Structure 1
Amino acid sequence: MTADPSRVAAAHTLLAQLGVSVADLQAAPDSSRRMPTVAEYLPRVMAAATPSSCRTYGTYWARMAAVWGDWPLDAVAATDVEALQRHCVKHARRRSNGRGGRHAGENVISAARAFYTRAIADGLIPAGASPAHQVRKPRRLPSPRRALTPRELAEINAVARTSGNDVILDALLLRLHTETACRRGGALALRLMDLDIEQGVVRLREKGETLRWQPISLNLAARLHQHAISRGAVLPGDALLRYRDGRPLTSRRYDHLWKRLGNRLPWVAAQAISTHWLRHTTLTWVERNFGYGIARAYAGHTDSTGPATTTYIKADLQAVATALAALTGQPHPLATRLDDLGIRA
C-alpha cells in the first residue's frame, strides 16, 4: 500500500513542531523494558554461575552490589570499575604470601567481566559495551611456589605424624596429596564410591568441572578405605575423608595443619608453604623423570592452550601409574613394568 503524500507531509510537519525526527523515533527505547539495576540482575548471574565461580567472585559481586546496587547496568562506566578495583586492592587482607592486594585487583575485574558477559548474552547491553572489559587486568606475577626438597618434605611429614589431635588423618592427607598432586578441593570432594582399592585409583573432581581417575598406591588405597569405614562412611556417596567424630572433612583442617607445621618449622611459616606446594613437588619430579606429557596428564591438565604439540603428547592412565610406581617405589596393577622401561624406582 502506497502512503498518501499529503499525510506524510503532514506527519513531517508535526514532527518538526515537536522537535522530533524520524531517526529519534526509530532509536527510541522500548519503554516496557526497563534496564535492571546491578542489584536486581546479580541474583540471575549467581544462579547461572558454577559453584567455583560463586566462591571466587562472590565477594566481589557483593561489593559491586553494595557500591552500584541501584545503578542501571548501562550506567556503570570503566572509571567506576577501575575505582572499585583500586578500593579492593587498598583494603585487601594482608597475608604473609600476599602481593599487596594484586590478586584482589585481578579478581574484581574478572568478576565484573563475568557479570557483564552474562548481561551481553542476555541482550541487556550491546556487545562491546561492557565497562569491565575496558579496564586492563594487572599482569599476573610468577608464583613463588616451588618443589620441596626431600629433606623439607621429610620434615613436614615427621612433624605432622608426631603432633596435633589427629595424626592419622594428617598423615593420610599429606600422603594423598603427595601421590596424586591433587588440589584441596579434589581431596575434599572424594566419596566412598570414588575409591577403587583393587585397581588403586581415586576419582578426582576438581576445578573446571574436570573428572579423572588418578592412580594411588595400593597401600594408600587400603588405608583410605579403612579410614573411611572406621569413621562412619557407609553409603557410596559418603565423604571419604572424615574427622574422628565422623563428620566430613572441611578446608579448616588444612588451615590448622599448616598453621601447626609453621609453628614448629619456622621456614614453613616464613615461605607460606601450603598444600599446593606438594602439587608442585610431585609434578616437578614427574616432569624431570618422565617428561612433560606424563606430568601434564598427572596434573589433570586438559586445556588446549599452549604449543600445538600438546595435542600429540597425551599420556594414558597406565603411563601415570608407571610414574606413580617409580615415585612411591611400590608396584601398581596399572603400571608398565619399570624394568621394561629401563627405569629404576
Structure 2
Amino acid sequence: MHSPSELLKKIEKAITEIQYPAHPASLYEPISYIMGLGGKRIRPTMLLMSTELFQGDLESAIPAALAIETFHNFTLIHDDIMDNAPLRRGQQTVHEKWGDNTAILSGDVMMVEANKHLTKVDISVLRPALDTFNATAQGVCEGQQLDMEFETREDVSIDEYINMIRLKTAVLLGGAMKLGAIVANAAEGDAERIYEFGENLGIAFQLQDDILDVYGDPEKFGKQVGGDIISDKKTFLRLKLQQLALPSHAAHLSAQANNSNTADKIKQVTYLYDQYQVKEQATEIMQEYLENAFRAMEQIDLPEHRKTELINVANLLMNREY
C-alpha cells in the first residue's frame, strides 16, 4: 500500500496533466488557477486509500479522485462568491480576479468536468459511481443552502446543525471513500461502512473546527481564532450555550451582536462558553462521532493491518492542537 504522501503526489501529477480547452481562455483559466492553488487534497487522497484498502487498482481510481477534487474546488469558487471572500489559500479568489459572472460560469463548467472525469471509471462500476457522486454533490448543495438559511433563523436546533454539517462537509468525505470502494469492486456492505467511516469522521472534524475557532492556537489552527464569534455564526458551541444559558446570560449573549469591539466580543462570548463548559460538551459529542467512525471501520471484514494507514490518517486529522 502507498503512503498518503505518495498518493498525494499521484493526485498532484494527475491534476497537472488535465488538459482543458484553450478557448474561451477566460472560462478555463480560472479552473486551472484554482485547481493549481494546492490544498491538502484530503478527499481524493482518502478515496485512493479506500481503493487500496479493498485491493483495487490504484490507477483506475484516479479519474474518481479527480472528479471529487474538481467538484470540491467548484464548491469553493461558488462559496467564495456567496461569502464575498477575497482570499483562498492565501491567493486572490476567482471572483476577485475574474469577476463574479466568470467565476459562476467557470464553477458551472467544473461540475461538468467532474462528471467527465468520473465517466472514465470502468464501465462495470460506472452506474453506482455516478449514483454515489450525484447523491454526494446534491447533499453538499443542500448543506450550503441550510447554512445560509441558518444565518437568519433564531430557532436552529443542535440536531439541525449536525445535519447541516453532515451535508455540507461530511458527505463529501464519505462519498469520496465510498467511490474508492466502488472502483475497487468492494462488497456493497463494505462500501456503505467505509462511507459511514468517512461521514462520521467528517462530522467529528467539523465539530473540532468549531472548538478550535474559539480555543485554538492561531498559528497552528491556520485561521483567525474567534472568527465564528465575530460573525455570530451558529456553531455547536453557540447553539449549546443558547440551550443552557440562564435568561440574564442569554440576554448578554444576544447583546454581543452589537459589540463592535471584536476583541471584547470574543472575550465576552468565550467567558460564557467557559461558564457553561460548552467546550467540554462539544468535545464529548465530537468523540462520539469519531468513535462511530472507528466502529464502522471495525465492521469491515479485512485484516487489521490493512486498516492501519486509514486509522492513522483519521487520528492525524483529529490531532490538531488547541
**What TM-score do the two structures reach when normalised by structure 1?**
0.21
RCO comparison, higher one (Cα < 8 Å, 6+): 2
Name which one, 1 or 2, has greater alpha-carbon Rg.
Answer: 1
Higher helix content, 1 or 2: 2
Q: TM-score, normalised by structure 2?
A: 0.22
